[in-house]
Amino acid sequence: MPKNKGKLVCMVVVFVLALTLSVGCFTRSNAEADDQPAPPPGMPSLKEIYKDYFEIGAAVNLSTINTHRSLIDLHFSSLTAENEMKPEGLQRTEGRFSFQIADRIVNLAVDQGLKMRGHTLVWHAQTPGWFFQDKNGNRIDQKAVITEEDRQLVRERLESHIENVMQYYAGKVYAWDVVNEAISDDGRYILRQDSPWFRILGEEFLEIAFRKAHEVDPDAKLFYNDYNIERPYKLNRTIQMLQSLLDKGVPIHGVGIQGHWSVGDSLAEVEQAIKKYAELGLEIHITELDIGTRDISAQGLARQAEYYRQAFALFKKYSDVITSVTLWGISDAATWRPNDNPLLFDKNREPKPAFWAIVDTDKSWEENKAYYLGE
């Protein structure tokens, strides 16, 4: 092939490829934009409304950072990865860390100037089985006799995971749920008896985890996170566990109250728990808030809105100790509780009465909506 003709063909190919790629990018970005309802003119921003009270956050995943991006940009000042930073998401195979997926969420937060909460370093669930296997592949937590060698092996894995993950995200993740859901639902025990961490290392696993986390990143805020720890059956045992660790000088900075509630649950119990945790000198995050209702009639959604209004009025009342409130999702189109319709935006990603209820907790949701949208 003549030299000049070959050069001309190459130039044409490059031009066609560039045009194809640019059209593809244009089409994809427009498709994403068209797939997201534009916020109504005059819609208020939650992060602006709550900026003098606490961070307002959302749990997201690789799908929702695209499909709910306009809502993220407008309303939230903090992000939490829904599953991507749990142990099975970062180290499915021993010694092979995979940060690429979680990085997309963390980098979005960093690029947009949002706070990033890390969830979670130590949990009995969504943790690969190899964490708890001996050198022969046997489950240590199921042995009749657990040796000191077994315990040391698991401790080293625990500390190694914390060290690698926290070093990697140092300076990007400002707060970590270090230990998740360790308190037993059985009132006879403080800690879960079925947790592999407890069965192998005993209650010491919490101390090991928090001390290692603080050693790796002294600037990170370290939280204990759990569900129903605002309820009487679990509250006092949680306080007993936290007080014991604090008495030993274990670096715990805060407690995460998850907040997977339903309309009708007691907010008086929540207030009592906030007071008790604050008395320990701990910062409080509401970490996984969603308030469910099966009734999606106008009356049902109004009842959900009123509960949200009261909840956020309570959070504002204690904003001297509550520094972050995170919704566990953004819309009912993407929630782990699909039958409970628990979030601020509906399945079409439109604002529900619950959204309007928290815009101004001194007014009804109808008043707020009318004021901002002129309806």
Distance, CA of 222 to CA of 19 (rounded, Å): 49
Q: Output the pLDDT for position 35.
A: 61
SS3 258: coil
| Among 34-38, 310-314, 345-349, the least confident range | 34-38
| Among 1-5, 49-53, 60-64, the least confident range | 1-5
The H or E element spanning position 254 is strand 254-257
> Is the sign of the CA dihedral 304, 287, 50, 280 positive or negative?
positive
Looking at the predicted structure, is the pLDDT value of residue 247 above 60? Answer: yes
Question: Considering the chain, what percentage of its residues have pLDDT values greater than 70?
Answer: 90
SS3 98: coil
Q: Output the pLDDT for position 18.
A: 37
Distance, CA of 92 to CA of 88 (rounded, Å): 5
Q: What is the pLDDT of residues 95-129, one digit of tens each?
A: 999 999 999 999 999 999 999 999 999 999 999 99
- CATH fold of 42-373: TIM Barrel (3.20.20)
Kindly give, in sequence order, each residue whose CB lies less than 8 Å from that of residue 280, ignoring residues fewer than 6 positions away: 239, 242, 243, 246, 255
- Is 82 marked active-site? no
Closest CA to 70 of 324, 351, 361, 287: 351
SS3 195: coil
Q: What is the pLDDT of residues 188-201, one digit of tens each?
A: 999 999 999 999 99
The H or E element spanning position 176 is strand 175-180
Looking at the predicted structure, is the pLDDT value of residue 2 above 70? Answer: no
Quickly count helices (H) and strands (E) in the chain.
Answer: 14, 9
pLDDT band at residue 228 under the 50/70/90 scheme? very high
Distance, CA of 43 to CA of 75 (rounded, Å): 10
DSSP 265: -
Distance, CA of 80 to CA of 61 (rounded, Å): 9
Q: Which two tokens stand for residue 163?
A: 């060290």
Distance, CA of 171 to CA of 154 (rounded, Å): 27
Torsion angle (degrees, nearest 10) of CA 197, 198, 200, 206:
70
**Considering 84, 207, 283, 288, which one is annotated as catalytic?**
288
Looking at the predicted structure, is the pLDDT value of residue 219 above 60? Answer: yes
pLDDT band at residue 374 under the 50/70/90 scheme? confident
**Considering 181, 207, 230, 283, which one is annotated as catalytic?**
181
pLDDT band at residue 306 under the 50/70/90 scheme? very high
- Average pLDDT of the chain, as a whole number: 92
Looking at the predicted structure, is the pLDDT value of residue 13 above 70? Answer: no
Q: Where are the alpha helices (DSSP H) in 287-375?
A: 298-317, 353-359, 365-373
User: 293 preceded by cis ω (within 30°)?
Assistant: no
CB 311 within 8 A of CB 291: yes
Q: Output the pLDDT for position 375.
A: 73
- Whether the model pTM is above 0.85: yes
> 234 versus 2: which is more confidently predicted?
234
- Is 181 marked active-site? yes
Kindly give, in sequence order, each residue whose CB lies less than 8 Å from that of residue 197, ignoring residues fewer than 6 positions away: 122, 124, 154, 158, 182, 205
